Chains A and B, each alone.
Chain A
């Protein structure tokens, strides 16, 4: 049981290096806090700068055109200002106070009255043959807001269709087909419950193409979307950041000459490496637990429907991280090598796997490649456990087994390397 003595000694040494311990927990916390504040809106937060500012000029002035105005005003992510004249609106657009200008022309009411759902799509397909000009609605964007133009066009088109189509049941059909066009969802999927509700048509938020994704009403178990992503991402990244500390611990042991002394003692190589690894497993578990605890207490994140599922994920992620730490510790010989190789490996793998941004933002090929990293499996497991609904345990079990496989593989390679190199 020599490994327990080595573990005890290393924990004793780590406990005396309180600055390092604080950094191991405080650094990820600071990262999560700072990145949450700076990139939060990319992941779902909205502030005034993030809204699309639309000016609407109603030259028709009928009940139907007013309904369109109301619908636009109710859409999430839009700041709609009703303007008295086109001249005034164009002036604001030129002054960059508006992102886009929507003009509801005088023929809007007349042209809209005869529109039927079957006329919206080409027969036998989901392809739209309807355009805003058909109902005398024009959209003008600032030339510098080319990307916003696409979004505004889609939102106005959707709002217009939902306004001009006569029957609410057909609206639901159109809504479903339009959503499938705009988001690429399966058009055969049934329309959402809110859309099938007759009265829902008046609820612009639930009618919007962004649908539930942009809804401000969250399920009870859904935390802040920013920290639901950031906390697990940085917990994974910093779990693997321990690779640095582990490698430096090995180097220190070599430089102190104590590694030789340990190798001369009646303990096996496996005992020695196990003894050197376990303290960092403990640190990793503490680090991850503290980050999730603070994620909940400080950032309001949710632990998902079944919080106990986080335990095996944290454990298996820490196992994989310390296994990788051991392998790298046996590969590097100097502090410079730790800085060069360990940091490169840790940061590259974090980047590939999706620790820096939500995995779904990664290109599909990169998502596939990232499955070669333990980080990706940990992130997938966390994503499943922390998602709003009931988590699928199959994916979590598969991820945990894969992470354990990584851990065992790294440990065996580390042992082989230690025996031949040291």
Chain B
């Protein structure tokens, strides 16, 4: 069941279109990855959901009901962890948490319990009484994260939560996201780090230029990636390449010599990674053509499919461009 539906969301800043009819949904208890390069519209989308920006058009539905962006019910159900740190450096971790907890109406013993819980989850219990300005970058990130969880939100929005974070803190934050999922909390995880999205997300929505370009479970998306066959050969004459291009499943061939005697051929195919049978058949045909041309094959590999490849295929550019 959908907790949040984003329907045909649109937002422009003067002539720049930031979000152009974006639609996706976040289901109960899942981690949805919002994957896209910088400037794709992830932060704008989250800002609209959080009530920071007025959309030009489109609709939000929370628990199946249409809701105005920034409506009180939505705000109370949302835990937002902004991309940039948003903590008071002169307050201690506990004071930061107490302030934001009270702002969300959490008070008394419940507030104390929640503070203890988030401090433990983010491994900040030992630093609870220290001013945040004395924290390392990673600890500040974790406090930033803890504040977003304090009021028991049903949906946590994480906007690039690991930018500038050391590997240890990154691993810790990703563990926290998994724990949230196991607690039944929905998470909208925006990132341009493919590895993180692959590591924690159940489903992924890939966006570019403010539009959804693909969505689905990780397996579903990866199954769409077209396989490339990489062959290291003794020589690559034009006649040989022409015979390979003539194969129906080959869409393009790239050659790399790197100054050595042998040549690397990258055969881009129309075969998706899910179609293993066709891939085997295609490989046999390629090897046969090379043998016919008396070209010695030194090595054969197929490239692992990943979201980076998929994004490249779908948009023609890399995630980190």
- Chain A residues engaging chain B, CB cutoff 8 angstroms: 2, 5-6, 8-9, 12-13, 16-17, 256-258, 260-267
Tell me the nearest residue of chain A to B47, going by C-beta: A260
A interface secondary structure, majority: helix
Contacts of B78 on A, CB cut-off 8 Å? 264
Given known contacts A13-B88, A263-B51, A263-B52, is B103 in contact with A257 (CB within 8 Å)?
A: no
Knowing A256-B88, A266-B75, say if A9 contacts B99 (CB, 8 Å). Answer: yes
A274 shortest CB reach to chain B, Å: 14
Contact of A261 among B76, B80, B102 (CB under 8 A): B80
Per-residue CB proximity of B44-65 to A under 8 Å, as 1/0?
0000001110000000000000
**B86 within 8 Å of A by Cβ?**
yes
- Contact between chains at A261 and B100 (CB < 8 Å): yes
Contacts known (A264-B78, A264-B80); A256 close to B87, Cβ less than 8 A? yes
CA distance A266 to B153 in the complex (A): 12
- Can you name the residue of chain B whose Cβ is closest to the Cβ of A266? B75
Q: Which residues on the B side are within 8 Å of A5 (C-beta)?
A: 99, 102-103
Q: A2 — which chain B residues lie within 8 A by C-beta?
A: 103
A258 touches B95 (CB 8 A): no
* B91: Cβ under 8 A from any A Cβ: yes
B52: chain A residues at CB < 8 Å are: 260, 263-264
Chain A residues, Cβ within 8 Å of B88: 9, 13, 256, 258
Cα of A264 to Cα of B76 in the assembled complex, Å: 9
Q: Output the least CB separation between B154 and chain A (Å).
A: 14
Q: A6-B103, A256-B89, A261-B100 are in contact. List 5 more A-B contacts (CB 8 A).
A: A13-B88, A261-B147, A264-B52, A264-B75, A266-B75
Please determine whether B86 and A265 come into contact, CB atoms closer than 8 angstroms: no
A5 to B97, CA, bound (A): 12
Q: Which residues of B contact A265 (CB under 8 A)?
A: 75, 100, 103-104
Interface status of B195 (Cβ within 8 A of chain A): no
Cβ of B137 < 8 Å from any Cβ of A? no
B105 contacts A by Cβ under 8 Å: yes
CB distance from A262 to the nearest CB of B (A): 7
Complex alpha-carbon distance, A12 and B99, angstroms: 11
The complex places the Cα of A5 from the Cα of B75 at a distance, in Å, of 17
**Inter-chain contact A260/B90, CB cutoff 8 Å:** no
Residue pairs across A and B with CB atoms within 8 Å: the count is 57
Given A12-B95, A257-B82: A262 and B103 interface contact (C-beta under 8 Å): yes
A-B contacts, 9 of them at CB < 8 A, read A9-B88, A9-B91, A256-B86, A257-B86, A258-B86, A260-B82, A260-B86, A261-B100, A264-B75
Is A257's CB under 8 angstroms from B80's CB? no
Q: Are A12 and B91 in contact (CB under 8 A)?
A: yes
Interface centre among A9, A16, A17 (most CB of B within 10 A): A9
- Give chain B interface residues in 80-131, CB to chain A under 8 Å: 80, 82, 84-91, 95, 99-100, 102-105
Tell me the nearest residue of chain B to A272, going by C-beta: B103
Q: Nearest Cβ distance between residue B60 and chain A, in whole angstroms? A: 14
Q: Cβ of A262: which chain B residues have Cβ within 8 Å of it?
A: 103
- Bound together, the chains give a CA A282 to CA B273 distance in angstroms of 67
For residue A267, give the distance in angstroms from its CB to the closest CB of chain B.
6
> Which 6 pairs of residues, A with B, have the shortest CB-CB distance?
A257-B86, A261-B86, A266-B75, A257-B84, A265-B103, A264-B50
Chain B neighbourhood of A267, CB < 8 A: 103
Minimum CB distance partner of A6 in chain B: B103
Residues on the B chain within 8 Å of A257, using CB: 82, 84-87
Complex CA–CA separation, A261 to B102 (angstroms)? 13
**Is B166 engaged at the interface, CB distance under 8 Å to the other chain?**
no
CA A415 to CA B188, docked complex, whole Å? 32
A9 to B100, CA, bound (A): 10
Take A9-B99, A12-B91, A261-B80 as given contacts and tell me if A266 and B86 are in contact as well, using a CB distance cutoff of 8 Å.
Answer: no
Residues of A within 8 A of B91 (CB): 9, 12-13
**Restricting to B242-287, which residues have a CB under 8 Å from any CB of A?**
none
Q: Are B82 and A13 in contact (CB under 8 A)?
A: no
- Residues from chain B with a CB closer than 8 A to the CB of A6 are 103
Asked if B72 CB lies within 8 Å of chain A CBs, one says yes
Smallest CB separation, A419 vs chain B (Å): 10
The interface centre, meaning the residue of A13, A258, A264 with most chain B CB atoms within 10 A of its CB, is A264
* Given known A263-B52, A266-B72, A266-B104, contact A13–B86 (CB-CB < 8 A): no
Cα A258 to Cα B132 with chains together (Å) = 13
Q: Using Cβ atoms and an 8 Å threshold, which residues of chain B touch A256?
A: 85-89
A354 to B192 CA separation, bound complex (whole angstroms): 59
> Shortest CB–CB separation between residue A297 and chain B, in angstroms?
33
Return the chain B residue nearest A17 by Cβ. Answer: B90
Docked Cα-Cα span, A17 to B147, in Å, equals 24
Which of B50, B52, B89, B103: most chain A Cβ within 10 A?
Answer: B103
Give Cα distance in the complex from A356 to B102, angstroms. 45
* A11: min CB distance to chain B, Å: 12
